[in-house]
């Protein structure tokens, strides 16, 4: 009997050891960024919604892409800390409420939708905070170094005078990508016909009217610089390239254009043109800035 109990006890120990060994990977370190760790558990948590959206893709690559974004977020957070740039909980909550309003959902319905997407309100708050911090840091470090001259503005105005009118607007289908979504991959699939624009909207967009292809009407006065620039060279039915909209990568499908009204003067059009010309310069400066942060950092990737 004692021998039997001993065998059972040993088996239990073996099972316990096996369970511990199987659970251990979640406690492993995925990367160390300037002395700060990112655990495999953190990577799995962040990758869950991406894995749900990208069924059929290599999960190892999905996790590695997520880790790359987490490393960048950590680099930017460390830089923001050094420069004493912060984001308050109230600002995060305000952004969260804006997302619920955009989707026309109550807090409870929004939480249920997040669960379907592999997210929780807490994990979304973490993402929102990282996004706001990134936007604030880059606005300070990148935006202030970008200069658009009066000569450039005048030349653009003369070349695109007919695009600057008051009144009118557009009917579009809007696709706004989540922060960590690979917008370029989706854009390529839409362009090749591998996936329809409406399907992409329903699957990944965080914008309005997901169930109806993201269709909205935008009056001329509310058109962002990126939207205005894209519409100028499109025909009905065309899908735009990727542009930035309120800190998110976005695309749209053009369904119709309402005729414009009064021609804007150079002075009236200057703020719009400044924003249009500033965007590509800021993107180039952004790439340089991120490259400098990475080159100065000590990054040890272990997954």
What secondary structure does DSSP assign to 91-120, as a single string? Answer: HHHHHHHHHHHHTT--HHHHHHHHHHTT--
Range in 33-42, 244-253, 257-266, 273-282 with the lowest mean pLDDT? 257-266
For the chain, percent of residues with pLDDT exceeding 90: 21
Q: Give pLDDT tens digits for 228-250.
A: 777 777 788 889 888 877 667 88
The number of C-alpha atoms within 13 Å of 223 and in the hemisphere containing its C-beta is 31
Mean of pLDDT values over 133-153: 86
Strand arrangement of the beta sheet that strand 36-39 belongs to:
36-39, 29-33, 299-301
Q: Give pLDDT tens digits for 76-92.
A: 999 999 999 999 999 99
Could you tell me if 57 and 69 are in contact, meaning their C-beta atoms sit under 8 angstroms apart? no
**Of residues 2 and 290, which shows the higher confidence score?**
290
Neighbouring residues of 64: CB distance < 8 A, sequence distance ≥ 6:
303
What pLDDT band is residue 23 in, cutting at 50, 70 and 90?
Answer: very low
The number of C-alpha atoms within 13 Å of 12 and in the hemisphere containing its C-beta is 6
pLDDT value, residue 165? 66
Contacts of the segment 280-289: beta carbons below 8 A, 24+ positions apart:
281/146, 281/147, 281/148, 282/142, 282/143, 282/146, 285/142, 285/145, 285/146, 286/138, 286/142, 289/138, 289/141, 289/142
For the chain, percent of residues with pLDDT exceeding 70: 86
Could you tell me if 34 and 297 are in contact, meaning their C-beta atoms sit under 8 angstroms apart? yes
Could you tell me if 214 and 288 are in contact, meaning their C-beta atoms sit under 8 angstroms apart? no
CB-based burial, 176-205: b 16+ in 10 Å, e otherwise: bbbebbbbeebbeebeeeeeebbebbbebb
pLDDT value, residue 31? 93
Total-model pTM: 0.59
pLDDT value, residue 2? 42
List the alpha helices (DSSP H) in the chain: 2-23, 40-53, 59-82, 89-102, 107-116, 121-141, 150-159, 183-192, 197-204, 225-231, 266-296
- Whether pLDDT at 170 is above 50: yes
- Whether pLDDT at 10 is above 60: no
pLDDT value, residue 102? 73
pLDDT value, residue 12? 43
pLDDT value, residue 127? 85
The owner of tokens 């977020």 is 73
Q: How far apart are CA 126 and CA 204, in angstroms?
A: 19
- Both tokens of 273, joined, read 């043109």
pLDDT value, residue 192? 84
């Amino acid at each position: 009997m004692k021998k039997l109990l001993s065998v059972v006890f040993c088996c239990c120990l073996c099972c316990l050891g096996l369970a511990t060994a199987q659970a251990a990977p979640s406690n492993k370190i995925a990367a160390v960024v300037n002395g700060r760790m990112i655990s495999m558990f953190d990577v799995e948590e962040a990758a869950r919604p991406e894995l749900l959206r990208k069924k059929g893709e290599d999960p190892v690559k999905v996790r590695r892409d997520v880790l790359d974004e987490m490393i960048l977020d950590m680099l930017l957070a460390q830089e923001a800390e050094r420069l004493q740039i912060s984001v308050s909980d109230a600002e995060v909550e305000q952004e969260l409420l804006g997302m619920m309003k955009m989707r026309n959902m109550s807090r409870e319905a929004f939480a249920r939708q997040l669960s379907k997407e592999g997210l929780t309100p807490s994990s979304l708050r973490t993402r929102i905070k990282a996004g706001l911090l990134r936007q604030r840091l880059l606005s300070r470090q990148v935006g202030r170094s970008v200069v658009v001259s009066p000569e450039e503005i005048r030349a653009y105005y003369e070349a695109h005078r007919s695009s600057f009118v008051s009144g009118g607007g557009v009917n579009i289908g809007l696709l706004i990508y989540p922060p960590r979504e690979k917008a370029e991959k989706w854009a390529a699939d839409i362009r090749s016909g591998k996936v329809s624009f409406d399907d992409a909207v329903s699957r990944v967009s965080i914008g309005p009217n997901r169930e109806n292809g993201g269709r909205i009407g935008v009056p001329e006065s509310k058109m962002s610089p990126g939207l205005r620039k894209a519409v100028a060279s499109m025909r009905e039915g065309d899908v735009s390239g990727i542009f930035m909209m309120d800190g998110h990568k976005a695309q749209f499908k053009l369904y119709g254009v309402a005729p414009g009204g009064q021609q804007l003067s150079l002075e009236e059009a200057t703020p719009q043109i400044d924003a249009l010309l500033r965007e590509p310069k800021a993107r180039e400066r952004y790439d340089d800035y991120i490259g400098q942060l990475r080159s100065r950092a000590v990054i040890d990737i272990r997954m």
